[in-house]
Amino acid sequence: MFMANIYVFADETGDLGYNLVSGSKYFGFGTATVFSPEQMVLFDAFQLRCSLEETGVHIRSGFHAQQDSNYTKQAVFNLIRKQAPRLDFTFLNKEGISSHARLGGDLHLYKLAWFLHFKALTQSVANEEDTIFAITASLKTKAKTQQIREALTIVASEVPDRTIIPVYWDSSSSWGLQIADYALWAAQRHVLNLSNHWWEKDILPNTKTLNKPRG
């Protein structure tokens, strides 16, 4: 049987605390899955950055949905819709986390959200013979990065019958991570009922799952 490499780019949203008054109701992940590097056509993203420079828009370190202007957002969302990666989202409702589970702290919440998202996703996109590269954005603090590395390594080992290789890159270095960032930004606004025409037009058509488990 043919063995394939599958690339899953992941971004996260929400804080890892349980204070729902000052913090977020959800903690979750969004992933953009591609089945070959050619699907993303990296040169398209390069050309987009160059065309934006022509109009006076300077993208020095990659695209970021929360920071980019609406003009830039529209251009990026257009390209994501054209490239059509598989998009999946999990928003873990922190209200459903038991008191006992909360004793596990922030790392438990991270592992739970990632496991719920990734277990279902890998069963859908990969066969047992395939290799899945789980590519996540690296964090600024070394201590937190090490904790996340350990958590994802544990989760990868707990997903049955799949070979998962955790990868950590700076989001500015990867167009795939920037796709995940944009897609998750739009999905989060949709879940929170915030104004967001990009969800319906550019993200929903390529969305396979959007789950909101309660712990």
Sign of the torsion formed by the C-alpha atoms of 8, 11, 16 and 20:
negative
Rg (CA), the chain: 17
Average pLDDT over all residues of the chain: 86
Here the CATH number for the domain that contains residue 41 is 3.30.420.10
- Domain hosting 145: range is 5-211
Which ranges constitute the DSSP H helices of the chain?
Answer: 42-54, 70-83, 99-102, 105-125, 142-158, 175-191, 197-198
Which pLDDT value is given to residue 142? 57
pLDDT in tens, 80-127: 999 999 999 999 888 877 776 677 666 778 888 888 888 889 888 988
What does pTM read for this prediction?
0.89
pLDDT in tens, 153-207: 777 777 767 788 888 888 988 999 999 999 999 999 999 999 889 999 999 999 9
List of residues 6+ apart from 211 with CB closer than 8 A: 89, 90, 91, 116, 117, 120
Count of structural domains, the chain: 1
